[in-house]
Amino acid sequence: PEASPHPPMVELSRYACKRRTSTENHNEIFTDAFEVLAESYEFSQCDSQCLAFRRAASVLKSVPCPLQHVGAAASLPCLGGHTRAVMQEILQYGQSCEVEKILCNDRYQMLKLFTSVFGVGPKTAEKWYRGGLRTLKDALEDPSIELNSMQKAGFLHHKDISQSVSRAEAMALGDILHETALGISAHAVLVLTGGFRRGKAFGHDVDFLLSTPEKGKEEILLLSLVDSLRRQGILLYCDHHTSTFDINNMPGVSFEAMDHFAKSFLILRLYDSQVEGGLQRVEGQDDGRSWRAVRVDVVTPPMERYAFALLGWTGSRQFERDLRRFARKENRMLLDNHGLWDNTKKEFLEAESEEDIFAHLGLEYIEPQLRNA
């Protein structure tokens, strides 16, 4: 849309779960800068500053036009003095001095590089940086570093995994997994979730929910699926987490904690011939390979927890964080990927669909394509 100095603003909620956010971002110049700042704070373990910039970015993503004056941001929630100063600088000079400094910072660049390896989180990256490592080769060759199997796979497939996954590639993987699952059980249900369910054109991985109406058979279905992928020769790596789900557990408060459903973090081989329009070209790939490696997550909730798991795995992360915060602050309820606890009624609220959960929370339903907060 046409940029106007004072665009008519619909009043935006401070909760991402009350905003509609499509994949179209009109304020990328600001949100990209905020995300660099958030990440830099994350690397320094300054969680509240990190969250403040993530929240500000999330709000701007739901603004339906480019902001041309910092004054237009005055009525927006979650934009404090620091975020507005960054915006002002970008509007005036085209870039933020603080952001440019971070981008040139050695430590930031190194932590970014190290955390780009599957299995390497900010803490390990920091340790490597402090230990004097400056390249991925350093990490591979340092005799004092013992890589775990996930990191070994991460290094082995680093080039492929660093390349984003296209929608066509995600669809092709969905077809392969669906067919494989149906070959194991005619009742298997497989649904694409994560960013691709929100309509994103690219992702860093592909997320699926797998389930079956046969009670207590979800995990065995997942193990059989992985086994079948191995026999098909397309399984490059599997990290399986066995279910620790207990129906009586109260919903967890922290979003960051992993849920308790059985799940597998996979690296799969996807062939060019399996993808409509072919694989995306992997930059610098000239080894004549006709396949690429792709990161895939498969989570298997029991069917009666399906709606909660689907809502929890569809994202975005900011949307999920705010759903939980909204439930807690506005409803005295605890929400996570397993269920919803009403602290007033002292009971779990059941749900067959995502719509049921929004209704329990007193929220208007927001379709997945508008959850890109």
Q: 239 forms bridges with which residues in the sheet? A: 265
Interaction partner, residue 255 (ligand DGT, Mg ion, none; CB < 5-8 Å by kind):
ligand DGT
Nearer to Mg ion, 33 or 165 (CB): 165
**# residues contacting ligand DGT (CB under 6 A):** 17
Is position 286 annotated as part of the catalytic site?
no
Decide: is 339 part of the binding site for ligand DGT (CB under 6 A): no
Does residue number 317 form part of the binding site for ligand DGT (CB under 6 A)?
Answer: yes
- Point out the catalytic residue in the list 160, 205, 259, 336: 205
Of the residues 239, 272, 297, 356, only one is catalytic, namely: 297
89, 207, 322, 354: residue in contact with Mg ion (rule CB under 5 A): 207
| C-alpha span between 92 and 69 (Å, rounded) | 10
Q: Which is nearer to ligand DGT, 96 or 300 (CB)?
A: 300
Angle at 77 between CA 74 and CA 79, to 5 degrees: 65
**Binding residue (CB under 5 A) for Mg ion from 89, 160, 205, 259:** 205
The CB-nearest residue to ligand DGT is 315
Q: How many residues does the chain have?
A: 373
Q: Which of 101, 201, 258, 352 binds ligand DGT (CB under 6 A)?
A: 258
Q: What is the 3-state secondary structure (H, E, C) of the chain?
A: CCCCCCCCCCCCCCCHHHCCECCCCCCHHHHHHHHHHHHHHHHCCCHHHHHHHHHHHHHHHCCCCCCCCHHHHCCCCCCCHHHHHHHHHHHHHCCCHHHHHHHHCHHHHHHHHHHCCCCCCHHHHHHHHHCCCCCHHHHHHCCCCCCCHHHHHHHHCHHHHHCCEEHHHHHHHHHHHHHHHHHHCCCCEEEEEHHHHCCCCEECCEEEEEECCCCCCHHHHHHHHHHHHHHCCCEEEEEEECCCCCCCCCCCCCCCCCCCCEEEEEEEEEEHHHCCCCCCCCCCCCCCCCEEEEEEEEEECCHHHHHHHHHHHHCCHHHHHHHHHHHHHHHCEEECCCCEEECCCCEEECCCCHHHHHHHCCCCCCCHHHECC
219 binds ligand DGT (CB under 6 A): no
| CB hemisphere CA count around 37 (13 angstroms) | 26
Asked if 39 is part of the footprint of ligand DGT (rule: CB under 6 A), the reply reads: no
Size of the site for Mg ion (CB under 5 A): 5
Q: Which C-beta is closer to Mg ion: that of 26 or that of 61?
A: 61
Q: Say whether 205 is catalytic.
A: yes
Q: Which of positions 152-211 make contact with ligand DGT (CB under 6 A)?
A: 194-195, 200, 203-205, 207
Q: By Cβ distance, which residue is nearest to Mg ion?
A: 194
Which of 66, 119, 315, 339 binds ligand DGT (CB under 6 A)? It is 315
Q: Of 20-28, 212-220, 250-258, 265-273, which segment contacts ligand DGT by CB under 6 A? A: 250-258
**Segment near Mg ion (CB under 5 A); pick from 118-126, 186-194, 242-250, 337-345:** 186-194
Q: Are strands 202-203 and 165-166 parallel, antiparallel or unpaired?
A: antiparallel
Among positions 140, 159, 213, 255, the unique one binding ligand DGT when judged by CB under 6 A: 255
Binding site partner of 313, from ligand DGT, Mg ion, none, Cβ cut-off 5-8 A by kind: ligand DGT
In this chain, which of 7, 119, 154, 194 binds Mg ion, going by CB under 5 A?
194
Q: Which is nearer to Mg ion, 197 or 217 (CB)?
A: 197
The residues binding Mg ion (CB under 5 A) are 194-195, 203, 205, 207
Active site residues: 205, 207, 297
The residues binding ligand DGT (CB under 6 A) are 194-195, 200, 203-205, 207, 255-256, 258-259, 313, 315-317, 320, 337
